[in-house]
């Protein structure tokens, strides 16, 4: 007899040597076969149980799931990312890596030695590693028939489940009062800025409301208010210029950004009086960026998913509002402008917030804070060897969320060129291959620039590298020493 | 010994017969064990191959896929739908059915006999069955780290792959020229209406542009233009009132909607001259709704995914534009307003368009046309037994897409109450438990109303039922006879 499998044959021969004898051989062979059979059958039962009883088999969702995993498995060497909708040479080919700045090649493995450190934009990619670690819990499968209609079952454009989870998020972080407040969704907080300006402007007033902010302020306040110049509002510039304004009939709308973009300071309103209304931009009021010392309870507060979970591309923000009339006017604005926010995005945001909530926010805020804290320390250390550049000062503060005193971890560096001849700080940095955002855009002097600390670790490392080169007076440091 | 499987027992017994004796029994037992082992091992190999080599095993995407299938499997009796983000009594419970109008109960199986037929809104749910049939190809799994950043790799807010597929879609349908044209994405065509008005308004002109449309027109043109009343445009009402306008310095912006909402007519511009600019609202220019007789080639055309695939909730539209300056101004509007369109929605829209394209649009447009055509015929038949109500007349026309003459299949019925005493047609229908949209909203007389034919089959059936009751002079017809 010749057993068909070499493995079985080997065991049979081995047994011959140790035992000997014809009957012993037969018995031990039988025993061996029985053991093998039992093991093999057990394995089969395991598989059958797994496949048919645990419900391991997916049906219609499988293609989408497999495609997402296939794309995610494409390597971009950690210096780029490939998405389902990345460019494809043709439809049957897999998508191509999108390399981060300073990296090229099909798998982003080649470094460009003379590239520019782009610290201009605010792409919140520092949180990407968190989402890769939480891949299973954060994925969302959207069925083809998901919410075709315009309205939810209550007739609104707002997901009740998402609103509930947003309130829970504020509760666990303790950064804002939402009980008894209205919530409005927007296509990013960007849409809500102008919705709020619109809602707070006096209708049919003889003179338009002046929209103001204290310097340095987020450039969009000015750009957007001027772009959508309406009959009932216009941009009035620096808030402090209106401090001694005796004309109490002029309506004023003050943007108060706390923590502030660009400098991370905890700002308070500059103007007071019965003719002043406020829009509190609270998008950075999260434990990544600042100590949470109290629940904010302003009349109108704006938040954005971009600065909490990092999903800037999803375009989702919300406003927390006390006054019913303001709520109605903002809701009307969003309806008339875009008929609400994408229901696909509302579904995804719900899942992202569920992931944040599952451990009370501990993992994401720890990760965000630790990352930004270490970047801030590294940047301070890099600049400390010279007096040419200084950074804003932010103190340590007790944080109710972390239950400890925490050091600063701002989203941006507000850099000042200290030398007399470096009046145009943007140009100084640009010559050193660093792209920053001009101080004048924030209403400030050109001695200032904003550097984003929110991007990928690669982006930050290249920024530090270029700053080191600049401080060493133009001495080029090889990229490998980054 | 009782071998567990009949097949093996047979072989064993057969062997006994031919050989016999004790040694024969042992040998046959051995043979049996070997056969069993080989079979079992083969099955092991099959499972191992399937699980580890065919890649049948999903890893991080499995939870999301399984959750989507679990929710999709909840029955709402065909009279409702349940979504991943439907209301949950508590987090661990499955979501609850959202019943269509006139149905209630945990599984929407109970009919409300005295409910109102809601033909007001335009929720394009008539296409839902198509997406349920194409569940596998249309599902999208969005990874937690999908496009956190604001911009695509080319720095824009627009997915290059999606733009490419939109151009392909126009090419296969033959409804619009896109070669050499710019494409802008918007949060629904809603956002693009005002973006276009903004872009076409003369900047810094002494007098604002007048935005006009010929009656009956889509109400949003008026509502939106008045809501966002800016210094450089206002609503000028009925286009034909401006026909003899001798003042060629007044800028005019005419909305031309073809096929028209509400009446499905193929409209042309009313105004002409060097001071007139046009916004062609082409959202209904698809084979569901109208014959495609030529590729539209207007200066500025608007489209919306809502009226092609039925995904109104996704808020995705686009403009096809000839002039570079207009393109730049519209792009600036969308950037300043919302920083582009949700990247989640762009990903999903790409997948939906891929499904439409895979058979050259045949299945979806056939299905859409057949559904709306049969509704239109049914409605005509229902109303034909009385002279109290009339519908708009639309002729049959040769369609280049279907390569045949096709009858009308409009998105809406533009109903006229013909009786002298039925001046307020909306009220007449409301008294008969039919919710319509008032003619005055479209700039027309109150003898007219719009009825939506785009909703679910249930919605349409209930509408027909209520109309039958009304025509039979108030005689209530049991719902079961619908």
Per-residue pLDDT of B382-422, as tens digits, reads 999 999 999 999 999 999 999 999 999 999 999 999 999 99
Q: How confident is the model at residue B16 (pLDDT cuts 50, 70, 90)?
A: very low
**Chain B: residue nearest A315 by CA?**
B342
Q: What per-residue confidence (pLDDT) applies to A50?
A: 64
Q: What per-residue confidence (pLDDT) applies to A8?
A: 36
**Chain B: residue nearest A80 by CA?**
B153
Of A47, A63, A315, the CB nearest to B136: A63
A30 & A108 share domain = no
Q: Out of B40-44, B90-94, B328-332, which region has the weakest mean confidence (pLDDT)?
A: B40-44
Residue A184 has pLDDT above 60, yes or no: yes
Chain B interface includes A329 (CB < 8 A): no
Residue A94 sits in a domain whose CATH number is 2.10.25.30
Q: What share of chain B is helix, strand, coil (3-state, %, to 5)?
A: 40, 15, 45
Instruction: Determine the distance in angstroms separating the CA of A113 from the nearest CA of chain B, rounded to an integer.
Output: 20
Chain B interface includes A29 (CB < 8 A): yes
Instruction: Determine the distance in angstroms separating the CA of B50 from the nearest CA of chain A, rounded to an integer.
Output: 11
Distance CA B33, CA A1 (A): 13
Per-residue pLDDT of B106-159, as tens digits, reads 999 999 988 999 999 889 999 999 999 999 999 999 999 999 999 998 999 999
* Long-range Cβ contact pairs of B93-100 (< 8 A, separation 24 or more): B94/B70, B95/B71, B98/A152, B98/A153, B100/B456, B100/B458, B100/B459
Q: How confident is the model at residue B18 (pLDDT cuts 50, 70, 90)?
A: very low
Distance CA A428, CA B191 (A): 40
State which of B96, B112, B128 marks the end of a domain.
B112
Q: How confident is the model at residue B434 (pLDDT cuts 50, 70, 90)?
A: very high
| Interval A181-210 mean pLDDT | 92
Residue A377 has pLDDT above 60, yes or no: yes
**Chain A: residue nearest B67 by CA?**
A141
Any domain includes A213: yes
Radius of gyration of chain B (CA): 30
Phi/psi-derived region of residue A108, left when phi > 0, alpha when psi is between -120 and 50, beta in every other case: left
Task: Please choose, from the candidates B353, B22, B6, B54, the residue with its C-alpha nearest in 3D space to the C-alpha of residue B183.
Answer: B353
Contact: A121, B150; criterion CB under 8 Å: yes
Structure tokens at B50: 């399937």
Any domain includes B149: no
Structure tokens at B395: 């002729």
B340 & B244 share domain = yes
Do the Cβ atoms of A397 and A293 come closer than 8 Å? yes
Q: How confident is the model at residue B19 (pLDDT cuts 50, 70, 90)?
A: very low
Q: How far is CA A8 from CA A44, A459, B48, in A?
A: 19, 58, 19
Residue A476 has pLDDT above 90, yes or no: no
Any domain includes B385: yes
Structure tokens at A396: 């340590």
Contact: A146, B64; criterion CB under 8 Å: no
Residue A1 has pLDDT above 70, yes or no: no
Interface of B with A in 47-76 (CB under 8 A): 47, 51, 55, 58-69, 72
**B7 against B172, higher pLDDT:** B172
Distance CA B410, CA B412 (A): 5
Any domain includes B205: yes
Instruction: Determine the distance in angstroms separating the CA of A130 from the nearest CA of chain B, rounded to an integer.
Output: 9
Residue A321 has pLDDT above 70, yes or no: yes
Do the Cβ atoms of B133 and B139 come closer than 8 Å? no
What residues of chain A lie within 8 A of the CB of B141, using their CB?
61, 64-65, 67-68, 139-142
Q: Number of A to B CB contacts under 8 A, please give it.
A: 369
Q: What per-residue confidence (pLDDT) applies to A351?
A: 98
Q: How confident is the model at residue B9 (pLDDT cuts 50, 70, 90)?
A: very low
SS3 category, A70: helix
Residue B105 has pLDDT above 70, yes or no: yes
Q: What per-residue confidence (pLDDT) applies to A23?
A: 58
A316 & A372 share domain = no
Residue A320 has pLDDT above 50, yes or no: yes
Q: What per-residue confidence (pLDDT) applies to A20?
A: 45
| Interval A333-356 mean pLDDT | 98
Contact: A141, B67; criterion CB under 8 Å: yes
Task: Please choose, from the candidates B374, B394, B391, the residue with its C-alpha nearest in 3D space to the C-alpha of residue B450.
Answer: B391
Q: What per-residue confidence (pLDDT) applies to B75?
A: 97
Q: What per-residue confidence (pLDDT) applies to A54?
A: 54
Distance CA A272, CA B175 (A): 57
- Other C-beta atoms lying within 10 Å of the C-beta of residue B142: 27
Rounded to the nearest integer, the mean pLDDT of chain A is: 91
Per-residue pLDDT of B304-327, as tens digits, reads 999 999 999 999 999 999 999 999
| Interval A344-360 mean pLDDT | 98
A44 & A62 share domain = no
Contact: A336, B227; criterion CB under 8 Å: yes
Distance CA B277, CA B252 (A): 6
Of A34, A60, A148, the CB nearest to B124: A148
Contact: B132, A150; criterion CB under 8 Å: no
B320 & B212 share domain = yes
Beta bridge partners of A413: A451
Instruction: Determine the distance in angstroms separating the CA of B200 from the nearest CA of chain A, rounded to an integer.
Output: 14
- Helical packing angle, A219-227 and A188-200, nearest 10°: 60
Residue B432 has pLDDT above 70, yes or no: yes
Residue B330 has pLDDT above 80, yes or no: yes
Of B85, B191, B312, the CB nearest to A150: B312
Name the domain count of chain B. Answer: 4
Q: What per-residue confidence (pLDDT) applies to A35?
A: 82
Any domain includes A474: yes
Structure tokens at B477: 């017809």
Structure tokens at B361: 């649009």
A278 & A348 share domain = yes
| Strand (E) or helix (H) holding A237 | strand A233-238
Q: What per-residue confidence (pLDDT) applies to B203?
A: 74
Q: What per-residue confidence (pLDDT) applies to B41?
A: 84
B238 & B332 share domain = yes
Do the Cβ atoms of B326 and B252 come closer than 8 Å? no
Task: Please choose, from the candidates A185, A167, A207, A199, the residue with its C-alpha nearest in 3D space to the C-alpha of residue A279.
Answer: A199
Do the Cβ atoms of B411 and B452 come closer than 8 Å? yes
Give the residue numbers spanning the domain of B31.
Answer: 6-53
B320 & B207 share domain = yes
Q: What per-residue confidence (pLDDT) applies to A4?
A: 44
Structure tokens at A465: 């590298």
Q: What percent of chain A has pLDDT over 70?
A: 90
Interface of A with B in 99-138 (CB under 8 A): 121-125, 127-128, 131-132, 134-138
Which residues lie below 8 Å from residue B60, measured CB to CB, with a gap of 6+? A69, A72, A135, A136, A139
A36 & A88 share domain = no
Q: Compute the Cα dihedral for B258, B262, B265, B271 and give only its sign.
A: negative
Residue A333 sits in a domain whose CATH number is 3.40.640.10
Rounded to the nearest integer, the mean pLDDT of chain B is: 91
Number of C-alpha atoms within 13 angstroms, CB side, residue A399? 23
**B227 against A10, higher pLDDT:** B227
Task: Please choose, from the candidates B183, B71, B194, B140, the residue with its C-alpha nearest in 3D space to the C-alpha of residue B344.
Answer: B140
Cis peptide before A195 (omega within 30 of 0): no
Beta bridge partners of B233: B209, B230
Q: What is the ipTM of this complex?
A: 0.89
**Chain B: residue nearest A143 by CA?**
B139
| Interval A88-107 mean pLDDT | 94
Give phi and psi for B164, each to the nearest 5. Answer: -60, -45
Give phi and psi for A454, each to the nearest 5. Answer: -95, -5
Task: Please choose, from the candidates A292, A149, A336, A138, the residue with its C-alpha nearest in 3D space to the C-alpha of residue B306.
Answer: A149
Q: What per-residue confidence (pLDDT) applies to A424?
A: 98
SS3 category, A366: helix
State which of A329, A357, A385 marks the end of a domain.
A357
For B59-98, give the DSSP string.
Answer: -TTHHHHHHHHHHHTS--TTSEE--TTS--SSTTSPPPPE
| Interval B223-231 mean pLDDT | 90
Chain B interface includes A2 (CB < 8 A): no
Beta bridge partners of B237: B212
Instruction: Determine the distance in angstroms separating the CA of B432 from the nearest CA of chain A, rounded to an integer.
Output: 22
Helix and strand numbers, DSSP H then E, in chain A = 13, 20
B338 & B197 share domain = yes
Residue A387 sits in a domain whose CATH number is 3.90.1150.10
Structure tokens at A40: 């093999």
Beta bridge partners of A140: B142
Distance CA A271, CA A201 (A): 16
- Other C-beta atoms lying within 10 Å of the C-beta of residue B164: 16
Any domain includes A262: yes
Distance CA A416, CA A429 (A): 11
Do the Cβ atoms of A217 and A177 come closer than 8 Å? no
State which of A337, A357, A377 marks the end of a domain.
A357
Q: Are strands A276-281 and A252-257 parallel, antiparallel or unpaired?
A: parallel
Q: What per-residue confidence (pLDDT) applies to A6?
A: 40
Distance CA A424, CA A365 (A): 36
DSSP structure class, residue A117: E
What residues of chain B lie within 8 A of the CB of A60, using their CB?
69, 72, 135-136, 139
**Beta-strand (E) ranges in B203-345?**
209-213, 233-238, 252-257, 276-281, 300-304, 317-321
Chain A interface includes B472 (CB < 8 A): no
Per-residue pLDDT of A257-277, as tens digits, reads 999 999 999 999 999 999 999
Any domain includes A316: yes
Q: Are strands A397-399 and A404-406 parallel, antiparallel or unpaired?
A: antiparallel
A323 & A413 share domain = no
Burial of A192: CB neighbours in 10 Å, binned 0-12, 13-18, 19+: buried
Residue A475 has pLDDT above 80, yes or no: no
Any domain includes B138: no
SS3 category, B480: helix
Per-residue pLDDT of A134-177, as tens digits, reads 999 999 999 999 999 999 989 999 999 999 999 999 999 999 99
Of A148, A223, A338, the CB nearest to B125: A148
For tokens 């809502």, name the residue: B306
Residue B14 has pLDDT above 50, yes or no: no
For tokens 């502030």, name the residue: A260
Q: What per-residue confidence (pLDDT) applies to B295?
A: 98
What residues of chain A lie within 8 A of the CB of B124, using their CB?
148-149
B178 & B297 share domain = yes
Per-residue pLDDT of B230-241, as tens digits, reads 888 999 999 999
């Amino acid at each position: 007899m010749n057993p068909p499998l070499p493995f079985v044959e080997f065991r049979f021969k081995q047994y011959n040597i140790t035992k000997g004898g014809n009957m012993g051989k037969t018995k031990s062979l039988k025993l061996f076969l029985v053991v093998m059979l039992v093991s093999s059958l057990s394995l089969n039962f395991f598989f059958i149980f797994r496949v048919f009883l645990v419900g391991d088999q997916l049906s219609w969702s499988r293609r989408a799931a497999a495609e997402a995993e296939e794309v995610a498995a494409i390597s971009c060497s950690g210096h780029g990312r490939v998405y389902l909708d990345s460019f494809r040479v043709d439809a049957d080919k897999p998508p191509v890596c999108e390399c981060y700045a300073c990296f090229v090649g099909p798998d982003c493995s080649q470094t460009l030695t003379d590239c520019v450190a782009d610290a201009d934009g605010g792409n919140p990619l520092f949180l990407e590693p968190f989402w890769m670690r939480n891949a299973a819990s954060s994925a969302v499968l959207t069925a083809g028939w998901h919410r075709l209609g315009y309205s939810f079952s209550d007739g609104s454009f707002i997901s009740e489940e998402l609103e509930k989870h947003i309130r829970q998020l504020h509760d666990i972080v303790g950064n804002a009062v939402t009980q008894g407040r209205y919530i409005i969704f927007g296509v990013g907080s960007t849409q809500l800025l102008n919705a709020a300006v619109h809602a707070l402007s006096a209708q049919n007033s003889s003179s338009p409301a002046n929209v103001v902010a204290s310097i340095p302020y987020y450039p969009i306040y000015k750009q957007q208010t001027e772009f959508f110049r309406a009959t009932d509002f216009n941009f009035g510039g620096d808030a402090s210029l209106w401090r001694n304004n005796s004309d109490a009939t002029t309506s004023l709308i003050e943007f108060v950004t706390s923590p502030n973009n660009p400098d991370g300071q905890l700002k308070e309103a500059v103007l007071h009086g019965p003719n002043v209304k406020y829009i509190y931009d609270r998008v950075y009021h999260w434990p990544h960026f600042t100590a949470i010392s109290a629940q904010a309870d302003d009349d109108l507060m704006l938040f954005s998913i971009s600065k909490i979970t990092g999903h800037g591309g999803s375009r989702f923000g919300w406003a927390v509002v006390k006054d019913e009339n303001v709520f109605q006017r903002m809701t009307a604005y969003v309806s008339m402008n875009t008929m609400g926010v994408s229901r696909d995005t509302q579904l995804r945001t719900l899942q992202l917030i569920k992931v944040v909530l599952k451990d009370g926010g501990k993992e994401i805020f720890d990760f965000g804070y630790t990352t930004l804290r270490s970047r801030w320390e590294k940047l301070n250390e890099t600049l400390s060897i010279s007096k040419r550049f200084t950074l804003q000062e932010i103190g340590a503060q007790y944080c109710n969320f972390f239950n400890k005193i925490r050091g600063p971890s701002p989203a941006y560096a507000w850099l000042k060129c200290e030398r007399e001849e470096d009046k145009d700080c943007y140009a100084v940095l640009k010559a050193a291959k660093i792209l920053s955002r001009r101080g004048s855009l924030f209403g400030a002097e050109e001695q200032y620039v904003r550097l984003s600390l929110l991007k990928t670790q690669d982006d930050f490392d290249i920024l530090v590298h270029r700053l080191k080169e600049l401080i060493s007076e133009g001495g080029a440091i090889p990229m490998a020493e980054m």
